Amino acid sequence: MNDALRGLERQLIHPGTKGLALQQPLRQNEIAALGLNVLDGRLSYPVAVLRQSTLDHNIAWMREFVERADALLAPHGKTTMSPQLFQAQLDAGAWAITLATVPQLRVAHRFGVKRVLLANQPVAMADIESLAALLREEADFHAWVLVDSSAGAARLNQVMQQMAPQRRLPVLVELGAQGGRSGVRGADAALELAREIHAASHLSLAGIEGYEGLWVGADRADDLRRVEDLLAQMVELTRRCDAQGLFDGEEILLSAGGSAYFDFVARAFAGLGDTSRPLRRVLRSGCYLTSDHGFYHGLQQEMRTRHDASFRHGLQPALEVWAMVQSRPEPGLALLTLGKRDASYDIDLPRPLSWHRPGETAPRPMRDTRIVKMNDQHAYLELPPEHPLRVGDLVATGISHPCTTFDKWPLMLLTDDHYRVTGAINTFF
Amino acid sequence: MNDALRGLERQLIHPGTKGLALQQPLRQNEIAALGLNVLDGRLSYPVAVLRQSTLDHNIAWMREFVERADALLAPHGKTTMSPQLFQAQLDAGAWAITLATVPQLRVAHRFGVKRVLLANQPVAMADIESLAALLREEADFHAWVLVDSSAGAARLNQVMQQMAPQRRLPVLVELGAQGGRSGVRGADAALELAREIHAASHLSLAGIEGYEGLWVGADRADDLRRVEDLLAQMVELTRRCDAQGLFDGEEILLSAGGSAYFDFVARAFAGLGDTSRPLRRVLRSGCYLTSDHGFYHGLQQEMRTRHDASFRHGLQPALEVWAMVQSRPEPGLALLTLGKRDASYDIDLPRPLSWHRPGETAPRPMRDTRIVKMNDQHAYLELPPEHPLRVGDLVATGISHPCTTFDKWPLMLLTDDHYRVTGAINTFF
């Protein structure tokens, strides 16, 4: 553990921190000693909790996956923006941490991450300068960035020349697809851009990148075709760049892989034969770490149907948000202390998993209930009129989309399998 | 300014703080001296900015509104969760700050707020204990809370008896409506609950509360009927409780008022005739402070049509989020550095207002463009193929729903009317 991470452990947590009903400030490393248990009803609710054993399972599962795929993992840090989770991923062999923006990259750097993949083209001059300053001052800090336009490449080259002329910034060309997000449209344009980068005085062409995770629509067959198309084009582009001697580094990076199709990515990348120098296949999944009870769970189930028994014990949901029943004003309605400030709502609303009355033995499954609406600070739970749920009972919910739940919790509690609070992690959004 | 607020001014802002492309830590009160201007393109984008003069205007406008309505303002702090903005509201005569949860209440207390209205029934025992501890230890700290069930009242009474027996907790009965959110259904049940509170050893019945802001659907005539119904029932309930001698304090509080119908609230509350003790009409609007360019702007326009010329110079949008063009990969598509981590998306997606090329004189209006989708860190801007917008240009966007934009910015920049950065405020979510 480095000094910055140790600093988090020692920092004061103030009353007002969600989930902990503190009366006095407390050092973060004193949380475990409070002897809290989510089921006791002695916390402030909502509270977001991460099950440590499930995190460990998912980390180990993904480590094994990338090893079998002869790939490297640069997990997308934007999902959690948590230095402690970055460290856990690095400790488990992650090659780098992926980030989406330069401010996120600076957070990772602040907490000791030495190798980052910026999975976007940085455009703000001040952002590029902030990155160049790190490269100038710290020889052991390494960053790779994406480029998808000549204008983008020119901005990077200009700042590097001015601020860090002793280093070349390694760049991956982002290949996009018509109707997609960023990324150069078409292999010929991408090849042209690769040539520009190769020729730029302060950039080096390090590899090829794409993001296949966008295609998750209603027509799954069409989605998969688009995914496979993009991956095939990336492989072909890598081959052509290599044949033309455009790669500048000692290795070639080939990177893709959200959390929906990393199995396809691994297979497609394995199809690239010999290259002039060692090939590094870099997967960037972020949501594998916690998975969820909604969108990513569904994608995982699909992935399992595509594979053999080795996928059976796949990724498991590690994140739950527990709320308390605040009112039951009508027989078929309960209001939970859970709102848009606490759980993701961009893909699905939270899903009730179980309920628990503090003092009783164990949570009971939550059947025939549904969260139908959320306000900023409330969830509307529809339930059968005869359901025994009452004011003060707890409801565990599963979320759909970790990224938009992590960003609502500056501090998240860790628990063991019995919901005993064993510690906390921080997020920096 | 109290010590806690001064502490914020002196705190270190670290590289990685969104909007500021810092290379080194900086004290917050040094931000103004950096001489930044949003239009220069020298920030990190996205950046959320609050225009100081518009905040001042809105604060003054609302102050005048509540004075004319013979009402008090307890602005809902959950909107911004910003201690500096709480203080500005209090300095402008706000009677209290409203909060939604006990953690939020503790944040307000930590930064010097002495009078809070908790516009919910607190249910977690640890939360109630946290509140009772403040009431026990600080004679000059005052809190009012809502109750909508006997179970809720019993929990409060029990904790107050154990922890702060020297004070009675002032309670407002929350009146709800069938199909609504929390709140007792029906005047008779509410009156019965008022009797229980009046009889409780450690609670006092301080008033009646309701929330009319829920009804903002497609059928505006129906919405307004429901709003007027609820308000009329609240007035009648207040009359009945008073006639039965149930109010315990020296005054009677009557509170409602989100940001959609506070004009109706003021009018309905004015209709309550003589009461046995002074009546305090408390409005709780939160979004008036910044308004917006979407949902609340529309509601404000409606409000203006209902009134005379005095509403002409109504509330103005004070909050903008500026993004940079990261890619323009297809003629009709630009990708902006703006995502679900940066701007609200629960009611509408951000609306492009203007665009600007750093170095040119002034922003130009943004016509015929639309943000059609956001990912976590990107916005998809559809625009005419011939539009000159290019990589590195800036786009100003207006948001729809301040509450879900503030919660994405731990630090927001203040600007003058020329977009010069004059300081910053903090939020605590």
> Which of A8, A13, A17, A23 to probe the B interface (max B CBs under 10 A)?
A23
- Interval A88-95 mean pLDDT: 98
pLDDT in tens, B5-14: 999 999 999 9
Q: Supply the pLDDT for residue A308.
A: 76
Find tokens 């001040």 and name the residue.
A126
> Which of A174, A185, A337 to probe the B interface (max B CBs under 10 A)?
A337
How high is the mean pLDDT of chain B?
97
Residue A296 belongs to a domain: no
Residue A400 belongs to a domain: yes
A236-243 long-range contacts (CB < 8 A, ≥24 apart) are: A236/A187, A237/A173, A237/A175, A237/A187, A237/A190, A237/A191, A237/A194, A237/A208, A238/A207, A238/A208, A238/A272, A238/A275, A238/A279, A239/A272, A239/A275, A240/A187, A240/A191, A241/A173, A241/A191, A241/A194, A241/A205, A241/A208, A242/A275, A242/A276
Check pLDDT > 90 for residue B281: yes
Which is nearest to B382 in space by CA: B367, B395, B372, B393? B372
B59 with B45, same domain: the answer is no
Q: Supply the pLDDT for residue B307.
A: 85
B42 with B76, same domain: the answer is no
Q: How many CB atoms lie within 10 A of CB A421?
A: 24
Q: Supply the pLDDT for residue A420.
A: 98
Check pLDDT > 80 for residue A311: no
Residue B402 belongs to a domain: yes
Single-letter amino acid code for the residue at B217 = G
Q: Distance between CA A30 and CA B80 in Å, rounded?
A: 30
Q: Supply the pLDDT for residue A272.
A: 94
Whether B371 and B336 have beta carbons less than 8 Å apart is answered as: yes
Check pLDDT > 90 for residue A237: yes
Asked which of A239, A273, A290 is the last residue of a domain, the reply is A290
Q: Supply the pLDDT for residue B313.
A: 76
Q: How does residue B273 score in pLDDT terms, banded at 50, 70 and 90?
A: confident
Asked which of A227, A256, A290 is the last residue of a domain, the reply is A290
Of B130, B149, B330, the CB nearest to A21: B130
Check pLDDT > 80 for residue B255: yes
**End-to-end Cα spacing for chain B:** 22
User: Which residues from B are below 8 Å from A329, CB to CB?
Assistant: 148-149, 176, 180-185
Whether the bond between A46 and the residue before it is cis, its omega within 30 degrees of 0, is yes
In the numeric block, which tokens belong to residue B149?
């069930």
Residue A295 belongs to a domain: no
A320 with A284, same domain: the answer is no
E strands, A148-256, in order: 169-174, 203-209, 252-256
Which is nearest to B159 in space by CA: B111, B206, B201, B103? B201
Of B100, B329, B429, the CB nearest to A185: B329
Residue B393 belongs to a domain: yes
Of A44, A123, A335, the CB nearest to B391: A123
Contact B337 A377 (CB under 8 A): no
Residue B105 belongs to a domain: yes
Q: Helix or strand or coil: residue A378?
A: coil
Residue A304 belongs to a domain: no
- Interval B102-118 mean pLDDT: 98
Which is nearest to A426 in space by CA: A406, A415, A409, A411? A411
Q: Supply the pLDDT for residue A354.
A: 98
Q: Which of A29-43, A308-322, A364-378, B270-284 has the lowest mean pLDDT?
A: A308-322
Asked whether the CA dihedral B197, B200, B203, B206 is positive or negative, the reply is: positive
**What total number of domains does chain B contain?**
2
Sequence length of chain A is 429
- Interval A132-139 mean pLDDT: 98
| Pairs across A and B, CB distance < 8 A | 227
Contact A121 B152 (CB under 8 A): no
Contact A391 B152 (CB under 8 A): yes
pLDDT in tens, B127-153: 999 999 999 999 999 999 999 999 999
> Which of A45, A97, A376 to probe the B interface (max B CBs under 10 A)?
A376
Check pLDDT > 90 for residue B244: yes
Minimal C-alpha gap between A276 and chain B (Å):
30
User: Which residues from B are below 8 Å from A340, CB to CB?
Assistant: 346, 403-404
Minimal C-alpha gap between B14 and chain A (Å):
8
B72 with B101, same domain: the answer is yes
Q: Distance between CA B48 and CA A276 in Å, rounded?
A: 47
Minimum CA–CA partner of B108 in chain A? A16
Minimal C-alpha gap between A131 and chain B (Å):
9
Residues 6+ apart with CB under 8 A from B234: B175, B208, B209, B210, B254, B256, B268
pLDDT in tens, B39-77: 999 999 999 999 999 999 999 999 999 999 999 999 999
Q: How does residue B155 score in pLDDT terms, banded at 50, 70 and 90?
A: very high
Whether A211 and A258 have beta carbons less than 8 Å apart is answered as: yes
B419 with B392, same domain: the answer is yes
Of A151, A345, A403, the CB nearest to B391: A151
Q: Which domain holds residue B388?
A: 3-51+315-426
- Identify the CATH number of the domain in which residue A12 sits: 2.40.37.20
Contact B15 A106 (CB under 8 A): yes
Report helix angle B83-91 to B3-10, nearest 10: 130
Looking at chain A, the whole-number percentage of residues with pLDDT higher than 70 is 100
How high is the mean pLDDT of chain A?
97
Contact A110 B16 (CB under 8 A): yes
B18 with B144, same domain: the answer is no
Q: How does residue B1 score in pLDDT terms, banded at 50, 70 and 90?
A: confident
Of A42, A133, A151, the CB nearest to B390: A151
Q: How does residue A276 score in pLDDT terms, banded at 50, 70 and 90?
A: very high
Rg over alpha carbons for chain B, rounded to the nearest Å, is: 23
A383 with A359, same domain: the answer is yes
In the numeric block, which tokens belong to residue B369?
């463009």
Residues 6+ apart with CB under 8 A from A386: none
B232 with B189, same domain: the answer is yes
B203 has which bridge partners?
Answer: B169
Q: Which of A333-342, B157-166, B295-304 has the lowest mean pLDDT?
A: B295-304
pLDDT in tens, A12-68: 999 999 999 999 999 999 999 999 999 999 999 999 999 999 999 999 999 999 999
B157 with B268, same domain: the answer is yes
Single-letter amino acid code for the residue at B319 = L
pLDDT in tens, B332-364: 999 999 999 999 999 999 999 999 999 999 999
Task: Starting at the earlier edge strand, list the strands of the sheet with B115-118.
Answer: B72-73, B279-283, B252-256, B203-209, B169-174, B142-147, B115-118, B97-99
Check pLDDT > 80 for residue A117: yes
Minimal C-alpha gap between B310 and chain A (Å):
31
Contact A101 B155 (CB under 8 A): no
Contact A391 B123 (CB under 8 A): yes
pLDDT in tens, B202-234: 999 999 999 999 999 999 999 999 999 999 999
A64 with A190, same domain: the answer is yes
In the numeric block, which tokens belong to residue A242?
């290599």
Contact A391 B151 (CB under 8 A): yes
Contact B328 A149 (CB under 8 A): yes
- Interval B285-310 mean pLDDT: 90
- DSSP letter for each residue of A135-153: HHH-TT-EEEEEE-SHHHH
Element (H, E) at B209: strand B203-209
- Identify the CATH number of the domain in which residue A109 sits: 3.20.20.10
Whether A212 and A183 have beta carbons less than 8 Å apart is answered as: no
Asked which of A290, A307, A328 is the last residue of a domain, the reply is A290
Residues 6+ apart with CB under 8 A from A357: A392, A393, A394
Contact A391 B125 (CB under 8 A): no
Interior angle at CA A141, CA A136 and CA A144, nearest 5: 95
Minimal C-alpha gap between A301 and chain B (Å):
23
Q: Helix or strand or coil: residue B324?
A: strand
Contact A376 B78 (CB under 8 A): yes
Residues 6+ apart with CB under 8 A from B273: none
pLDDT in tens, B192-206: 999 999 999 999 999
In the numeric block, which tokens belong to residue A150?
């000549």
B259 with B381, same domain: the answer is no
Residue B15 belongs to a domain: yes
A185 with A249, same domain: the answer is yes
Minimal C-alpha gap between B309 and chain A (Å):
33
A355 has which bridge partners?
Answer: A364, A395
